[in-house]
Structure 1
Amino acid sequence: MTRPDPTRPDPARLDLVGLEARPSQVWGAVRLVPLVRDEPVEDLRLHARLYGDATIPVEVRPRRAYVSYVPHGFVATWTGDGTPAAAYGTQMPTDGDSAPIATTGLRFHRRTARREAKHRLRFLPLHLALEGYLALHFGGPSIAWEEWSQHAVRRGLSPRTEEAYLGTEVRGLADALRVFEIHPGQCGVLLYVADALAAVFAVPHPDDYRALHPTLLQDLFGELIHHYATLMPPVPDFRARVDDARIRSLAELRTAVADQEDAWARFHDTTMAGGLLDHAYTWRTVHRTGRFTLSRFLPVFRPKEENHIGEAITDERGRIVYLKTFRLSESQVRRGHLLDRLAAHDWHLADTAAGLGVTEAQLGLRLESAGFGHLLRQDVLDRYRSR
């Protein structure tokens, strides 16, 4: 996945420079597209830290917490001089009977990303991105217009909740990951369900991917992906076709195979992954670690279109080293869009309604159907319903 200038990606777009798509593999409605690096990143490594089957509260800031099911975290280890690094926790076994490292249950964390040592950062994969979505305009109305309730003025959107499904509940995903053939040099995967892009996962090094490949079952997926996996029929496999009448030598066969691989990569980048790569995102830096930057990003919420949130580690040239994305459902996109439009108009309902091309009463009912009805005064909401 490259652009004309692979040395400097567009900072607003999600650009997978250095990662190339290989032919997909299909299991039922699940399509897995390998991402391969020509040169792995040697001075940043990732490994998983298990937390067990427990609900974990994370203190985001004083008097504000993020609570979710967090089965594992990632620990990023890097070197300060660019020399190769080993994944934190790597051990040299002394015998074949070494016991595994014990895990614990309920844990309390401070922040979704926290530096543990000079060259070690612990963060909660995907939850970093979800926290950014849940915190969208979390403070509520910036001006106490008369339509807003006392709850909205005093507490904003607290508490803010969203629902998601574990990968183990996405039909066919476990079997697809089990039979999936990991390519040499593979550092990531694009996961499609019913040919809808569900998630992208990329890591710095092939060894990291082999170790973290099963963690996709512990990731979160939106309701759209869960429904597609349950209801949609198997997807067709894209098979390469070479005209044997034109092949006269082994060199011509190699050329034909390379042309088919290039054609698949172009088709994938421009068509299948276009909803992810063709749009700009709002990025926020979470942590800087040497030459690497951990960030999360939000889309410009576009109703009835494909929208993704995610988190990434980029190097000093802006290239993706680590990436994990989450596809929002239509209801989640609608909520984000409404909050963005309200914030853009200083939470003034009449101005926001005019900007959306609807009446104030219609906007009020949209807020109620999106789950934000408690932010409006009851008498105001009743007046909107009567209209």
Structure 2
Amino acid sequence: MVSKRNLLADISLKGLEIAPSQVWGSVRIVPLLRHQVRNDLRLLRRRYDEDLTIISLDKEMNYCSYVPHGLVLSWTDNGSPVGTYGGQLFKTDGKQLNHSCVSVRLMHRMVKRESHNQLRFLPLHLAMEGFLSMFFSGPDIAWREYSKYALSYGLGSRVESSVLGRYIAGLEDALRVFEIHSQQVGVLVFVAEALASAFVVPTPEDYRLLHNSLLEDFYGELLYQYALLHDTTFPMNVSLDESKINNLQDLRVAVENMRADWASFQGFMAEGLLGRSLNSQKVYTAGSFILQRFITDLNPKTENHIGEAIIRDNGELEYLKTYRLSKMQTRRVYLLSQLAKHNWNLDATASKLGHTREEFVLRLENVGFGYLLNAEIRQAALKKAKGKR
């Protein structure tokens, strides 16, 4: 049984070392190193070639997206190294349909146990599906302000758009030319000094196999624009005080201090994710490991992230993959969270946010949720807004 203390309250890189970054154009990649590798948990990529994947979540809900690969998790219960690794490569996963213009893969569940010690899940899509389904059922009280559609179907079909990593200018070249450290198990990816993604896996061997999978991940449109608009990063130079270097021991200490300063600063650059309060949800328990998804504490004035993590029962981080929400995505889920917090009462929510009812209705219109309200409410808000011009 998983208690609340087993769920991530914040993300810490305890047990990982932040190494000096490498820069290519506007892309900065910060290696994450793990010095104590246990090998009782491994991850393997399973490729898919279809144009579209449809995942059945339950009898009435499906998730549709381009899914280039899944991750297969293998573990042992006694702490011994994972054996016969790679046998899952040829396992059938879902059903394939090929048409003249499109190929489709039909799958069951975001997370599926395939054997006693093997689990398949869809990276990032697991987090995005959780994000899309937040407050999905809509009003639980038949307030007269809501449309018949909202009262019958909740939010209906929710859609969010993103950009494949291959379209982030400079990312493919950066991954191709940058050095992979012998103990590297992950990266922090920055685009024009904005944190785009954090990625951590259990072992260095896993990371080498999954290094280029970052190109198949999806990223927010903002990061795509940043990569186009900026062709370089901010200059960040560190140097040694030669006057204090008299022997090899002095040099060794100076280099260690410099690396520590770099790690501290690069951790500071990622403070929008690291150390932030999280709302976490357990997805699956695999032996002594817990797969969960999370969202940061929805502060509309700063960056916000969704993601997935695997932690040991002692709290050590073994896997992490994150996605940075756009400001519009943050606004949408923030307004939904405030409505849910106030039992979907428009007046109470508007008052809490310091708005009139009409102002709050316009906010819902601007983020694409106007269809939840009946025509009378929407027209009254638009009329009042025009009268103020």
TM > 0.5 between the two? yes
TM-superposed CA distance for 1:10, in Å, is: 8.8
Question: Partner of 1:288 in structure 2?
Answer: 285
TM-superposed CA distance for 1:101, in Å, is: 10
Question: Partner of 1:146 in structure 2?
Answer: 144
TM, length-normalised to structure 2: 0.92
Question: Partner of 2:115 in structure 1?
Answer: 117
Deviations 1:135-180 (A, max 9, x none): 0100001111001001101111120010000001111110111111
Provide the aligned length of Structure 1 versus Structure 2.
Answer: 372
Say which SS state the counterpart of residue 348 (structure 2) adopts: helix
The equivalent position to 1:357 in structure 2, one of 350, 354, 357, is: 354
Give matches, 1:1-387, under 5 Å: 11-86=8-83, 88-89=85-86, 106-269=104-267, 271-387=268-384
Identity %: 46
Q: Give structure 1 regions of 4+ aligned residues with deviation exceeding 6 angstroms.
A: 100-104
Say which SS state the counterpart of residue 363 (structure 1) adopts: helix
Is the 1:45–1:87 Cα contact (8 Å) retained in structure 2?
no
Distance 1:66 1:286 in 2: 16
TM-superposed CA distance for 1:322, in Å, is: 0.3
Distance 1:86 1:327, change over 3 A: farther
Distance 1:245 1:10 in 2: 49
Distance 1:9 1:228 in 2: 36
Is the 1:46–1:88 Cα contact (8 Å) retained in structure 2?
no
RMSD: 2.0
TM-superposed CA distance for 1:102, in Å, is: 11
Say which SS state the counterpart of residue 380 (structure 1) adopts: helix
Say which SS state the counterpart of residue 106 (structure 1) adopts: strand
Say which SS state the counterpart of residue 371 (structure 1) adopts: coil
- Which stretches in structure 1 are left out of the alignment for 5+ residues? 1-7, 92-99
Is the 2:167–2:224 Cα contact (8 Å) retained in structure 1?
yes
Distance 2:83 2:127 in 1: 26
TM-superposed CA distance for 1:239, in Å, is: 3.5
TM, length-normalised to structure 1: 0.92
1:265 maps to amino acid = A
Please identify, of 24-33 and 245-254, the stretch whose mean Cα deviation from structure 2 is larger.
245-254
TM-superposed CA distance for 1:304, in Å, is: 2.7
TM-superposed CA distance for 1:267, in Å, is: 1.5
TM-superposed CA distance for 1:16, in Å, is: 1.6
Say which SS state the counterpart of residue 107 (structure 1) adopts: strand
Is the 1:41–1:321 Cα contact (8 Å) retained in structure 2?
no
Question: Partner of 1:94 in structure 2?
Answer: none
1:28 maps to amino acid = G
Distance 1:204 1:383 in 2: 56
Is the 1:285–1:296 Cα contact (8 Å) retained in structure 2?
yes
Is the 1:24–1:238 Cα contact (8 Å) retained in structure 2?
no
Deviations 1:59-107 (A, max 9, x none): 111110111110000000011211001574259xxxxxxxx99997532
Is the 1:77–1:86 Cα contact (8 Å) retained in structure 2?
no
Question: Partner of 1:4 in structure 2?
Answer: none
Distance 2:292 2:368 in 1: 28
Distance 1:381 1:371, change over 3 A: same
- Which stretches in structure 2 are left out of the alignment for 5+ residues? 97-102, 385-389
